[in-house]
A = this chain, B = another copy of it.
Amino acid sequence: MQEKHEKPSVTVDIVIFTIKENNLQVLLVKRGIEPFKNQWAIPGGFVKIDESLEEAAKRELQEETGVKDVYLEQLYTFGSPKRDPRGRVITVSYIALVNSSDINLKASTDVSDAQWFAVSDIPIIAFDHKEILQYALKRLKWKFEYTTVAFSLLPKEFTISQIQKLYEIVFNKEFDKRNFAKKILSLNILKEEGINHEVSHRPPMLYSLKNNIGEIIEIL
C-alpha cells in the first residue's frame, strides 16, 4: 500500500501571536530559499516521519522563538494541490500564543530574519499564508470570547485591568470597566492572590486563574 500512491509532503505552519506595544502581533519569517525567497511567511517546516503533528509544531515553535509550554492549538489543514509551486504540500496549521517577554527570536537554517508584525499591518506574504492568517485571527477572537486562552498571555498573577486591556486589543474595542470586572469575576474562575504594592497609585488586587477550569465557558 505504501507504493501504490504518490505521496504529498506534509508541513506544519504556526501562526504565533503575541501582545506587544499594545498591539496584537504575529511572527513572520523572511524566507531564505526559493520559492518566495526574501518574502515574509508564517514560520513552519516539514513533519518528520516519526513525530506527531503537535510535536512538529512544538519543535518549529521552539526553533523560531525559543519558547516551550505555550498555548498551541491545531487550526486547519490546507491542501490545495497548487498551494506550493514545488509540488504537492499539505500543511497543518497551528495557532500559538506566546508571552512576548519570554521570546527569544532566532534565525534558523532557512530563515534569514524573523520579525513581529501588528495584525493590522501585515505585509504581502508567501503561499496561501494570508488565508491562513485570516483564519487564525477569526479563531483567536472566537477563543477569546468563549474560553480562557487569553490568560495564557498574562503572567501568573495579573489585575483585572490587564485582562481588560488584552480583550480591548484583540477585539479592537473598549469595554466598560465596571461591567467587565463584574462579568469576569462572576465567572468564578479567578483566585485572589493579594495586593500589588509596587505601583505608584492605588494598589490593585492580583488574581490568578484557578486550575481545573473547563474549556468552553463564554467569557463575553
Point out residues on A near B: beta carbons under 8 Å.
Answer: 1-2, 5-10, 46-54, 74, 76-77, 79-81, 86-88, 90, 92
Contact = CB atoms under 8 A, between A and B. Distances in A.
Contact of A10 (B2, B7, B49, B52): B7
A88 to B, nearest CB: 5
Interface of A is mostly: loop
Given A7-B10, A52-B79, 10 more contacts: A2-B86, A8-B10, A10-B10, A49-B81, A51-B81, A52-B80, A53-B79, A54-B79, A74-B76, A74-B77
B5 A90 contact: no
How many copies of this chain does the complex contain? 2
Contacts of A86: 1-2
A1 B76 CA distance: 24
Q: Which of A1, A49, A76, A79 has the most CB of B within 10 A?
A: A79
22 contacts: A2-B86, A5-B9, A5-B46, A5-B48, A7-B8, A7-B9, A10-B10, A10-B90, A47-B79, A47-B90, A50-B81, A50-B88, A52-B79, A52-B81, A53-B77, A53-B79, A53-B90, A54-B79, A74-B77, A77-B77, A77-B92, A90-B92
